[in-house]
A and B are shown apart, each in its own frame.
Chain A
Amino acid sequence: MEVIEEMKLACSLNLLEYIGWKEEYPEEAKAAFEEFCIRYDQAVVKAAEIFCYKWNLTETVALDIVNCTFARVWKYHTYNHEKSKSKEVDTGIRRWLNRIAYTQLANYTNRGTCHEPDIETDLSLIYSLDELVDKTTDDEITRKELRKQLKVLDDVIAQLGEKHRIIYLTYKLYAPAGKNIPRSVSKKLQNELELVPGSIRKYKEQAIKQVENFLNRNYGS
């Protein structure tokens, strides 16, 4: 009881540290994990539902992804706030959890087990990407303008076929700088979509071209 009360007052970074003591102090680690789940599960559940909705997957899959995300936290509490570009610990942890959720989503299969990422496929380890996108838009836009832009975005994505969309978004996640995607992710795409590597490249190029054409045609970018 005392342990639980103590955990309620602990900073989230400390909770992650206590989770790492599961061998030496299992009771404290368990209490820390329970408190960590109470603090963050709602944010991850909501995010996962949106992510799945955008990838044309159901909320059943979203729930799997949330469980797998927290299973990952229990196993490897690897959040490093110094590497994160977030000002607040809480924001940094939510971003880290979203990346773990996305690792699970992008590698989701119906095998009945969570994806065990390696160093290449674990999106939660990508910190360098933050530097690429640090240049946020120079002018604040209104909510109405943002909604208008998001409507455009949905129109663009909606015009891609199922395979084009999956390939396009997977490349966006794993190869933001136009590099190759990890071999195991590529393998998964081949299996799931029943395509050979050459076809995947073709689909990717077509999708990029389609997005570019749409933007050029309608918005003169």
Chain B
Amino acid sequence: MAAKKKSNNINADRFDELLAIAGYIYPRNDKELEQFELLYENYDFKLKNVRINPEEIINQSFEKKGKVLRLRNDEEQQDINELRIAARKGNEHIPQSILEKMKRKHNDEDK
């Protein structure tokens, strides 16, 4: 019981520390960096073994490829799941809330 209380003891300072350890903000001291690196030691990195090209950096010839593709958030995933179900069943109406969201999104993209 006491251990449970200890692990749940998250005050504002500890919260900021956790933000840094998790990578939401940069690690602000050696301890946070050490814990950050330890935490992701066995993480399945998509950029595993990617090396940068110093030559391209020196010549300023590297290309920024980034399109800011946001990963789907939970809410969007939920919407997609509902749409899938509706599409599978075929005879069901798409929920009004989803229709409104799609309309809003469509209007936003037209701006």
Residues of A near any B CB (own CB < 8 A): 30, 33-34, 37, 41-43, 45-51, 53-64, 66-68, 70-71, 74, 85-88, 91, 94-95, 98-99, 101-102, 108, 110-114, 123, 129-130, 132-137, 139, 141, 145-146, 148-150, 152-154, 156-158, 162, 169, 172-173, 176, 211-212, 215, 218-219, 221
Contact = CB atoms under 8 A, between A and B. Distances in A.
Contacts of A51: 23, 26
Contacts of A153: 10, 15, 18-19, 22, 24
A94 B20 CA distance: 14
Contact of B66 (A86, A108, A157): A108
B64 A113 contact: yes
Given A133-B29, A149-B7, A60 B66 contact: yes
Interface residues of B, number: 59
Interface of B: 3, 6-37, 39-40, 43, 45-47, 50-52, 54, 56-58, 60, 62-71, 73-74
Nearest to B49: A42
Nearest to A97: B26
Given A85-B29, A108-B68, A37 B35 contact: no
